[in-house]
Every structure is written in structure tokens, then in C-alpha cells.
Structure 1
């Protein structure tokens, strides 16, 4: 057992699922009534009927790339494209911009981004000073972590990015308990401190995000006296999952409903299979329903050894948008899924693009229990019909395609 942030973390899984599904219809109704974009996306859906994961899985996925396009299309009337349920004024404390540009609101709720839970799991406690090196300029990362630190009862030094020597000086003078920021910038700070022969004994922990955090970097940082823990959060959703002292995957936040779907579709995959992270948030101010993050992960079996009972994911495993240009034409993961759906015999599909630039070759590899006579020809015809390109078909044994979330593999030589 461990010191939990609150009792929600140790709930019986069945109780948690019941609570999440009870909140789901209310959140869908909130999206339909207060966010005009979702009123259109979910037109005809009866919120009271969405009381199970199967029912949720039938709703459309809104992906981050679509959010950008929809915001731009309606920006003349609403900078948030109809996705925000709050407006300028006291209920919307700040507005942020992410590359694209996507605009995100910040509501007035305490710990709006729900990051206090991740900070607590990383070892931060009330009364400590947090050295925050996420950006405070335009993007929400700095505020996202600061609001969680304040909810935890911490004081925050707004370090922001850059100015490495000044960061080292501030850490030496103020003696913060820990660091928050990207792992690569933490490494730069520690290297600069070593170069300047400045000891930083107070900084013993870190919560990092925004980049991959491989074990090699985690160990390098630990050798210098800092225990690094990671979390997965986005500007749209806030905290999605966080690492614990067990370092066995990331535990889901208590305020989200997560699905792992096959890239290019909204179809949930079996536990353990890599797919795209799709999240429904319970935030009433920005009620994103089945929001496709574009990131890949997979559900881990069992529960965290710390005693937290929520679902765990493996962490960030790459990007789900594998759109590839073949002979001048874009081929999308959704097209591969559409081909596979036409043939019930197909269990899984993977389009492999090979050759050199100007000599592209497509092979659609299919896992089938039994390939009926003429199936290859019919699938090849579907490839031409859907992609407008020719491709060969190869049947492979069940379970032989890699479990890496790839629907399109670009194996071409670019030399």
C-alpha cells in the first residue's frame, strides 16, 4: 500500500466503473446542450442511452486534427469552434494556444487540469517549493502543472524554459523540493550544475512529461540524486495517466474514460493490443467526447503494486496517424480499416509500403483463420476501389503481425 492522493485511487474497480458510466450520460448531455460543435457531432444521440462502454464505442471519434479544422472553420464566430461550454469572463480564467493553432480554455475549477494527483504520486507534498520549467508562454503546460501544485498546497517557482544558468542559480538559492518539466531540460540543468560545480541537494524528485522518458535517461537522472516520475497529459484533456513509485506503466486519472482503438477507426481493441488513445473527459467546461489523441498505447493487465486499482496503460508508444503518400496519393489508416471490414474472415490488417522513392509497392498483410478461394483477388479489388492504387495481398498466420499499433508500415528506402 502507499499514501494515496484520495480514496478514489483505491476504489473497487467495479465501483469506479459504475461511477464513470453513471456520469457519462450527464457529460454527453452537457456536451450536446452547452457545446454547439458536439450538438452537431452527436446529433440524434440520446444521452440517457449511453450507459455502457459498448454504447460509447458507437459514438464518433473526434480526432485532434479534426478539432483544429473545425475550430478554424468556425473561428469567425467562436475561437473554440463550438467545443467549449464556457465563454470569456469569470468562468474562463485563461486561454492558451497549441501548435496549429488550437485554442484551449481554462476554467475556474480548482486543479482544473487535475495534475495534483500526478504530483502527489511523484512524491510532492504541501508546503514544498516546486521548480516549474514548463513553458508559461502561450501554451498551457506551465499553468497545467502550476494549478495542480497549488491544489496540493505547494509554492511554485515559475522557471519556464531556457536560461539554464539562471535556473541553476535559482535552484541553488531557493532549494526547491523538486522539478517539473521536460526530462531533456532537467538533464541540461543537471549537466550545467555539474559544469559550474554547483550542488543541488534539495532537488530530489521530478515529475516530467511532454517527451519520451526512457529508462536510460531515468537512470542517468537518478544517479544524480533525482527520482524522476512521468505523466501523460495533453492541453485538451489535462491529466490522462501518471506513473507511480512501482514504475509499472501509467495509472489512469480518476476523471477520464479511456479507450484504446484501432488506428483510423473507433473500434476498441482487445486488452494488451496497441492502438490509439481515445479519451472522454468528465470536465463540464470542455466536454470532449471520444477525443482521439493521436497517441498509441496499450492497456496493461492487473493493478498497480502500490494498491491503486485503476486501469494502467503502457505509456506513450508512438503516433497513431500513419497517413502515407504512395505514388502521389495519400493512404490513410481508415482506408485500411475499411478494406478489412469488407471481409469478415480478416482478423487484423497491416499495409506495408516498400521500395524506393518513385517505385512504391504496397502489400496488404492479413491475418485470417482461413482464406477462401478467390479472397486475395477480392481484397486486391477492394484496395484499388478504396485507395485508387494497386497492391498485392499476403495472408499470414493469426497473431503474427507485430503488436505495435501500426496499420501502415512505411518500409521504403529514402537514401
Structure 2
């Protein structure tokens, strides 16, 4: 079995730099076709942007700013030159943020992550990410089919039906959140799910305790870091030393709130450039914290490695694969005049993400607040009514109290 998908993954530094010098000017030029990008990059000569140092002089575009920009200039805020009809599929993610899927094979460049996780042509894979409105299911689907895998597009939830599918089709691979993989394994009972030998997980924390539990059940699970805007950013390999950055993107780690790159090993905000003129994304700051892991992976892949997720540079939290933002907490408050301060607390219980909305409100409002929480975030959560004045006056709308490891 080959260790690498292609020769791009093992290029030496000189060859990689030459390739970057060739593609970066084309990406900048393509991005500047969009009016908002042209304004943002005014005065920039695309031909001069040929390396990391030149790229670092371009302004950062913050993902957190996209919802407001898109609301003012729908659907893409002026940051995409092509009309909606030129895309293969169109989506919305929490925020809301509108995204389009480009036509073509594996448009979210996911195949490398699946290959590194051991998926191969002829495998059957159970894809439990959602195919409805959000792009998650399609992102994974494209990568699997690019490798020649057969995909069961099951989507999330409906545990009994999922187990029926496993029993019938005997998939070798699982794709989804690590939390839902545990739910399936726990619910299997006497049903034989031993066919599942490998997994690519994303969208939720995968702490060492859960990693050990999944491995003890005979499943090799690998992590993938990506977003709905970009597809795959980095992925775990058999070396189990950090995440290798996908060949199709360039990752910078910058000082939060700036575009200034930090030294290798220093924690900062993840900024991503997609090295594809057909999907030109330039220095998109994701709000996630990570760090470059110095050196080259023992697996032989020579691209940059990053450590896992190290928190958020802002208050946005990812819960069960969905982003929850401070603006959404504000929307819940706006739906209930008379409510006091709100704070959404995210914790981890029994290897599952749990969110609890603490509200300075009468007890009679708990049920209505819970309904609004589900409607606004698309996630179920608990509501804890607390006395007026008991929540801190610190401006924090979301408190992520999950352990980092």
C-alpha cells in the first residue's frame, strides 16, 4: 500500500517554493476580480506576491466579518467574483455565512486526508455529516468519491437506521464527529459493527480519553481540520505528530488581531490562503488558535505541520461540528424582551459537547429560551435560569470551558 497519495506530498523545500511562486500571483489576480477583494487589495501588484513574506504584507480578511458583509451585499459580500449560478452547489452555515461549491473533482481537496487515514478505492464509507443546507456532508463526499470509495450518505442522527446501514453494507470507514462514532458503537449492542476499521473525524473535540476508547474498539481514527469555507486545511497521518497542511492551501500562524506571523511553536491565530485561482481565498483569519510544529513529519510528508486546536481567538465556539457565535446569543436575547444577561457555557460531559444557556430570567421563560436556543443555533442545549445580577458583567457571551486535551 502506497504511503503517499502523490509526489506533491514529499516535495523538497526548493520545489515547493517554486510552485508557490508560480501560483500565488494567479491567486491574487483572480481574487481581485471581486469588487470587495479589489478594494481590500488596492495598490497590490499580483506579480509581486510570490512568497510567504510578500503574502504576509497583504491585509487579513476575518471570517467573523463575513456575515455582516454578506448581509450588506448578498450573497457573498462582494468577495466572490462569480455569480451563484456558476457554482455546483450553494450552502449556508451558522453565522449565517453563504458558501458555494465549485464544480469539479474533489473541490474541497479532501482526498489527501482520507488517503492518509487509510481509505482506499473500493472501500465503503458511512458519511454521517449533514447533506442539508450546510456543506459538511458534500465536502467529505467529494473526497471519498475522488478516491474511488462508495459513500453511504446517511447524514447525522437516527442511530438505529445508521446501525441498519452498517449491518447491510458493511462499511470499512466512518466519517463524522468522534462523538457520534461513540454513540453508534455504544448503541450497537449485539449487532456486529466490526467491519468499521478506520475513521476520519472532525467537527468536535477528540480528547485522548476518547481516542483511546475508539482505538480499543479496533478502529484507527484520524483527525481532520477544515472549515465550510475552505474544505480541508490540515489532517492527521500515521505519524500521529500534529496535522500536515493540505497541499492545496497555505497556513500562517499570526498574532491574534493582526496579520503578523509568529515564530514556529508560538500559539497564534490560523490564517489560510487557498492556492487555487478557481477558488481564490487570501489570508482568511479563522479565529482558531494553533501553532506550527517545527520539523518534518516522520510520515515523509514535507509540508508545514500544525498542532491541534488550541482554542479560539474570539468567543466563537464549535459545538458538535457547528459554530456558535456571540451574535446568536444576542439574537436569543432580542427574542425575549425583559431577559437579563445571557451566557452560553460549553462543556464536555461523557465525551459529548454540552451547551447550557445561563439566563437572568424568570423560571417560566426557560422553555421558550430553550426553543430559541435550538432555533438560532440549530443545536439543542440546556437552559439554566439564574438570579438577576448573578452573571459577570464582563462582556462575555460564550464561555468555552472544555479542556484542550
Into which bin does the TM-score normalised by the smaller protein fall?
A: 0.7 to 0.9
Q: Give distance in 2, aligned partners of 1:124 and 1:268.
A: 34
Matched with 2:117 is 122
Q: Retained in 2: the 8 A contact 1:20–1:257?
A: no
User: How many angstroms does 1:119 deviate by?
Assistant: 0.4
Q: Encode CA deviations 1:41-60: one digit per residue, 9 max, x unaligned.
A: 11111111112222211111
1:31 paired to 2:24 = no
Shift of 1:285: 3.5
Q: Using structure 2 for the length normalisation, give the TM-score.
A: 0.77
* Number of the residue aligned with 1:266: 259
Aligned length, in residue pairs: 326
- 1:410/1:113 Cα in 2 relative to 1: closer, same or farther (>3 Å)? closer
Q: Confirm or deny: 8 A CA contact 1:85 1:286 kept in the other structure.
A: no
Q: Identify the residue that residue 380 of structure 2 maps to in structure 1.
A: none
Q: CA deviation at 1:111?
A: 0.4
Q: 1:144 to 1:45 in 2, by over 3 A?
A: same
In structure 1, C-alpha distance between the alignment counterparts of 2:279 and 2:35, rounded to whole Å: 12
1:161 and 2:160 matched:
no
Q: Does structure 2 conserve the Cα–Cα contact (< 8 Å) formed by 1:277 and 1:293?
A: yes
Structure 1 unmatched runs, 5+: 329-355, 361-408
The residue aligned with 1:242 is: 235
Q: Larger Rg: 1 or 2?
A: 1
Alignment of 1:10-409 (within 5 A): 10-33=10-33, 35-75=34-74, 79-89=75-85, 91-194=86-189, 197-321=190-314
Partner Cα separation in structure 1 for residue 213 and residue 392 of structure 2 = 43
Task: After superposition, give the CA deviation of every residue in 1:208-247 in whole Å (9 maximum; x if it has no partner).
Answer: 0011111211110111111110110111111100000111
CA deviation digits over 1:308-361, x for unaligned, max 9? 11110002111011699xxx9xxxxxxxxxxxxxxxxxxxxxxxxxxx97787x
Q: Distance in 2 between matches of 1:232 and 1:184?
A: 16
CA distance, structure 2, for counterparts of residue 272 and residue 2 of structure 1: 31
Q: Is 292-301 or 41-50 further displaced after alignment?
A: 41-50
Q: Distance in 2 between matches of 1:271 and 1:68?
A: 31
Superposition TM-score, scaled by structure 1 size: 0.75
Q: Residue 171 and residue 32 in structure 1: after superposition, are their counterparts in 2 closer, same or farther (change >3 A)?
A: same
Q: 1:73 to 1:202 in 2, by over 3 A?
A: same
The 3-state SS of whatever aligns with 2:126 is: strand
SS of the residue 2:174 aligns to: strand
Distance 2:263 2:231 in 1: 25
Moved over 4 A (4+): 356-360
Cα deviation 1:46-90 (Å, max 9, x = unaligned): 111112222211111001111221111112xxx11122233233x
Structure 2 spans left out of the alignment, 5+ residues = 317-325, 327-340, 342-389
Deviation at 1:293, TM superposition (A): 0.6
For the 8 Å contact 1:241–1:252, the answer to whether it is kept is yes
Contact persistence 1:84–1:105 (CA under 8 A): no
Contact 1:2 1:307 in 2 (8 A): no
Q: CA deviation at 1:2?
A: 5.7
Q: Which is further off, 313-322 or 96-105?
A: 313-322
Instruction: Kindly provide the CA deviation profile for residues 228-286 of structure 1, in whole angstroms up to 9, marking residues without a partner as x.
Output: 10110111111100000111100000011111000011110011000000011123333
Q: Which moved more, 1:302-311 or 1:279-288?
A: 279-288
Distance 1:85 1:177 in 2: 40
* Partner residue, 2:3: 3
